[in-house]
Amino acid sequence: MNRLITEDERSQLLEHGLARATGQAVDPLPVVRLFTPDAHAIWLLVALDPADGNTAYGLIDLGISMPELGEVKLSDLASIVGPGQQPVMRDLYFRAVRPLSEYLRLAQENGSILD
């Protein structure tokens, strides 16, 4: 386990990443929610690229009212600190309640990820 994702989360993310890489149309529940406690950025991750095991895909909300789907490297997230020197953290209590497409729709309507 690393600081951002557990081994179980990594397995789920890689499974979804393999489905994406093989062209399957998937709309999974987000596996993990990462956030900056002092900068209002959130990443809802659903997949991890099986080719490099580092490039994650999901809903990205950088706190500027423009949430969108995209990719981010876990290694980059591990090096980010906010203005109060707080690192990116994993939300230990996050449990997805809707598929990624629904989180995206709601985030775009509201300008940010709601939960």
Per-residue confidence (pLDDT) for residue 25, from 0 to 100: 87
Domain boundaries, the chain: 7-110
Indicate whether 114 pLDDT > 60.
yes
Percent of the chain having pLDDT more than 70?
98
Per-residue confidence (pLDDT) for residue 1, from 0 to 100: 43
Contact (Cβ atoms closer than 8 angstroms) between residue 23 and residue 34: no
Q: How far apart are CA 49 and CA 52, in angstroms?
A: 6
Q: How far apart are CA 38 and CA 46, in angstroms?
A: 23
pLDDT tens digit sequence for 48-100: 999 999 999 999 999 898 999 999 999 999 998 888 889 999 999 999 999 99
Indicate whether 113 pLDDT > 60.
yes
What is the torsion angle, in degrees rounded to the nearest 10, for the CA atoms of residue 25, residue 28, residue 32 and residue 33? 90
